[in-house]
Chain A
């Protein structure tokens, strides 16, 4: 080690010891500098477009589907960085739902008991909404049967249940589905026969993607859910 290295070492040590409240790591962190220069003052779209590679993940992470819009609120589920595909095979980000009231349900297509009942209830809610609200309310089904609920199976499900274009039927990776389930508090577990034990929980999101209501169980609660969509 040269004497200049020793001097540098001594200086760094002195800084580390003599500056309580200021971590050396913090000051020297490239991520920290990037954050200050990039994310805080600038809108996300500008931030992501302007910065050269490599892009810091934390800087550009939520800007995929709403580059021109403001950041999601701190309670918005749309902060979840998870990739889904719909029943036509098109990529779908939850942030695309921003601005619409949403009724969200996790399900699996071969479910023989609760899921068909819940979809029937959601259809009843949909048909009972005032026309204007009905036209902009999204009914979102996300499958936790990531292996069997292929795009084709989900498309078939749409046809069988007569679900119109306001219904968005999604599949995703195990990771994506588990994180979404965790956010809304749905528990599920695959059983040995391939079916799923799962919570029966319909979640109503407002235009910002925040949870405003949850309907638990299979009986009743339709009016409250519809009222939450109207808020």
Chain B
């Protein structure tokens, strides 16, 4: 029967990706890119488990198969905009532009959350994601990891490919996590905490009125260009938005 299952899964294109492994991200401190004057300089992050790679098309296919309300033709516009899974060939057919082992993209925050819930997991917080992604290839703090920075900025300079490569086909970081940089952007659970209201503390009165506690924009590290890009993306997104290079991975608390 095992052979039968193997052949069947190969025929369906599900054999291309291993079941996702989770890696432990040790406790650490995340220094927010921007913080309120009332905030502590850094956020302590407890150790947690993170998927070693983004969720794939094959995995998302299994999810929408089991949960019809998240199929492209059935999803509510409230929870996913009109380009949700637009590159898939059909409701249950990722097709040639969405290879089984490539990361699923064009999914909304609501869809990513629903997937994570169905897997008994959750999305990582901004602090968790950034802590995991701060590692270099060979050390926990990748700020000065030349190889990582070279790869990261080379990726940022490249246009989004029409067909994404397979997940986990690059080099893992110090924690054993793949593709935190260099493949797709990723949703975080609290993306809607990113309040970009201006470029300095000199925010206008209007902005202070739009955001209670808006004396909050002072960038700590202005050299981390990639972090600014992530912050800008998060602050520009609505929860039902989908884009060509935005995927996700799941996280979970460590068992106590």
Contact = CB atoms under 8 A, between A and B. Distances in A.
B7 A9 contact: yes
A61 B12 CA distance: 30
A152 interface: no
Nearest to A57: B67
Interface stretch (A45-53, A122-130, A196-204, A222-230): A196-204
Interface of B: 1, 3-4, 7-8, 11-12, 36, 38-40, 61-62, 65-70, 76-79, 90-93, 109-110, 113, 189-190, 192-195, 206, 209-214, 216, 235, 238-239
Contacts of B113: 179
A189 B209 CA distance: 16
B90 A23 contact: yes
28 contacts: A1-B3, A23-B90, A25-B12, A25-B62, A25-B65, A26-B92, A29-B65, A29-B66, A39-B68, A74-B78, A75-B78, A79-B76, A179-B110, A181-B192, A182-B110, A182-B238, A183-B239, A187-B192, A188-B192, A192-B38, A192-B39, A197-B195, A198-B212, A199-B195, A199-B211, A200-B209, A200-B210, A216-B210
A16 B209 CA distance: 59
A185 B238 contact: yes
B209 A187 contact: no
A182 B192 contact: yes
A45 to B, nearest CB: 18
Contacts, number: 134
B210 A217 contact: yes
Nearest to A23: B92
Interface of A: 1, 5, 8-9, 12-13, 16-17, 21, 23-26, 29, 31-32, 35, 39, 56-58, 61, 74-77, 79-80, 111, 113-115, 178-179, 181-183, 185-189, 191-193, 195-201, 216-219
Given A178-B190, A199-B210, A217-B209, 18 more contacts: A1-B3, A13-B7, A25-B61, A29-B66, A29-B92, A31-B66, A58-B68, A74-B77, A76-B78, A114-B209, A115-B212, A179-B113, A182-B109, A182-B110, A195-B38, A217-B210, A218-B209, A219-B209
